[in-house]
Structure 1
Amino acid sequence: MLLENSYYKIIGRSGEGLDAVFRVALLPDCEVYKGHFPGNPVSPGVCNIETIKECAMLLTGKRLVIDTIRQCRLTAVASPSVCPEVEVTLSCSPVGKGFAVTAKIADNERTYMEYKGEMTVITA
């Protein structure tokens, strides 16, 4: 299930080649936030990772699956009420059957997640 337009919405994009910054609005009416947690919504780490993967797919123009996560650090709690907009900064490098991906989710105040891993291109 893709999260774009239900959990988040891309409101801007900059960069060139396989490096980009996606400006993302977190959508507080999403069902995820109603269950995680009612009255005090926070962004689940798994949804942040999926957001990174979906932005990587837009950047590379390929359908991807996460193969290996080498580093995934949740450094602060993101919430649509505290940080309604964040930036997903991505750098992708071709490797093997996919891409090495380095990413960060942050705003002007703090970094919420740092990610390094490999994603494989889905060919079927």
Structure 2
Amino acid sequence: MLKNDLYTVTAFENNMGTVAAAISLNTAHPIFNGHFPGQPVLPGVCMMQIVKELTEEATGKKLFLNDAAQCKFLSMVDPGKTPELQVTIDYKEPSEDRVAIVAVLKSTEATFFKMSANLLIV
């Protein structure tokens, strides 16, 4: 949905339930014109979608965000100042219909977003 449009994956490692990915934001994407004019910020819902899409890539399964036990937006992502981000996702399949994740989106200077959630396999 957002991959190869809002962001591109520049590195991706999937190792025994842990994903380490590097992404590059498309700073010219039209979403930044409206969110917010003159002060672009990566929308929180897009951070959540990026995590979901990278988890789908890691598991090879189509997923749906069922519940987020914890979702913390710690700092704003200004795409002009921080176009390169790192995403780490620890995941496991506690049952045959869901994937439990703990994810972090950060740069070398700051942590922007943390989430613990269950994604349903659809």
TM-score range (shorter-chain normalised) is over 0.9
Residue aligning to 1:34: 33
After the TM superposition, which segments of 4 or more aligned residues of structure 1 sit over 4 Å from their partners?
none
In 1: Cα distance, 2:55 partner to 2:78 partner:
22
Q: Which runs of no fewer than 5 residues in structure 2 stay unpaired?
A: none
In 1: Cα distance, 2:14 partner to 2:60 partner:
15
Give % identity: 26
Deviation at 1:80, TM superposition (A): 0.9
The equivalences for 1:82-101 within 5 A come to 82-96=81-95, 97-101=97-101
Q: Which amino acid aligns with 1:112?
A: F
Residue aligning to 1:46: 45
SS in 2 for 1:49: helix
- Are residue 19 (structure 1) and residue 18 (structure 2) matched? yes
Residue aligning to 2:113: 113
SS in 1 for 2:58: helix
Aligned residues: CA RMSD:
0.9
Which segment is superposed worse, 30-39 or 107-116? 30-39
Q: TM-score, normalised by structure 1?
A: 0.94
Q: Which amino acid aligns with 2:59?
A: T
Deviation readout 1:89-122 (Å, 9 max, x if unpaired): 0011102211101000001101000000000111
Residue aligning to 1:80: 79
Q: Which runs of no fewer than 5 residues in structure 1 stay unpaired?
A: none
Between Structure 1 and Structure 2, how many residues are aligned?
121
Q: In 2 relative to 1, CA 62–15 (structure 1 residues): closer, same or farther, beyond 3 Å?
A: closer
In 1: Cα distance, 2:76 partner to 2:13 partner:
25
